Amino acid sequence: MTTTPNSALRAVRMGLLMSQDDLARAIREAGVPGASKRLVQRWEAGVTTSPRPVYARALEQVTGLPIEALGFAAPIPLGEVADDGRGGHDMTVAGTEAAPAPVAHGHRANHSGIWLSRYEYFSSGRGAAFVGLHHVVVLQHGSRLTVRSLPGSSDSALIMDLVVDGNVVTGTWTEETARDSYYQGARYHGAIQLLAEPTGRRMAGKWVGFGKEFDVNTGPWQLVFQDASTAKTAVERYNHRPQE
């Protein structure tokens, strides 16, 4: 039986500048004395796909992210019954298996490494255009890209979950703003589609997201390659605010 590595958890851990030992120690300090480096290794290797609730709560506490954002399966809800409008009823039950990853046709390169994320947006409240910059860790497994921002690169936390199909990169983004920023801890999310250049050093496209006036906005977004290494030394080297 093959296992799928948990790239999301690994990216989050690296984004927090933690070793596997560090994460295990933080979980123990969160009140779970049995956490060990070996347990973290099993999670990241995909051997354990659903941690026990006590570990799930500790992981959420340590990382500040919901367990689903850490690459683990969400709790399975109970079946729901709905009137089908024709005198009958439909029952839906969430499956226990994750949907298979789309196959990347013509997939050329591995995009793992450290990239500079740059997007532009218009603030209706301030009446001006702004640029959002983050250094991000990109980890690739098959056709999937897991993207997490480095904590020192911005006051906001950026997450992207993408799928590569040839030179087309499509997925979702989520950004949680700082509590002391203009947006006061607001959480934004949307969709994104990029085109990867044949050089493998730049992806450029557009984002789509919602505004506070119940409208849908869009703008340019690009990822620019910085370093192929995701070692701790490389991560520390880019854990600072990017320069325009």
The reported pLDDT for the residue numbered 82 is 52
What CA–CA distance (Å, rounded) separates 15 from 237?
A: 12
Closest CA to 226 of 144, 115, 132, 142: 115
Which residue(s) pair with 4 in the sheet?
A: none
Instruction: Give the residue carrying structure tokens 């506070």.
Output: 212
What CA–CA distance (Å, rounded) separates 38 from 225?
A: 32
The reported pLDDT for the residue numbered 1 is 61
Provide the residue type at 192 as one letter: I
Residue of 67 and 211 predicted with greater confidence: 67
What does the pLDDT average to over 66-87? Answer: 60
Which residue(s) pair with 141 in the sheet?
A: 144
What CA–CA distance (Å, rounded) separates 23 from 83?
A: 46
Q: What is the pLDDT of residues 174-203, one digit of tens each?
A: 999 878 777 777 888 999 999 998 788 899
The reported pTM is: 0.64
What CA–CA distance (Å, rounded) separates 222 from 136?
A: 12
CA 3 to chain CA centroid, nearest Å = 20
Task: Name the pLDDT band for 158 (thresholds 50, 70, 90).
Answer: very high
Calculate the average pLDDT of the chain: 82
The reported pLDDT for the residue numbered 179 is 81
Provide the residue type at 177 as one letter: T
Task: Name the pLDDT band for 84 (thresholds 50, 70, 90).
Answer: very low
Least confident of 30-44, 90-104, 105-119, 141-155: 90-104
Q: What is the pLDDT of residues 219-243, one digit of tens each?
A: 999 999 999 998 888 899 999 999 8
Encoding tokens for residue 26? Answer: 């933080």
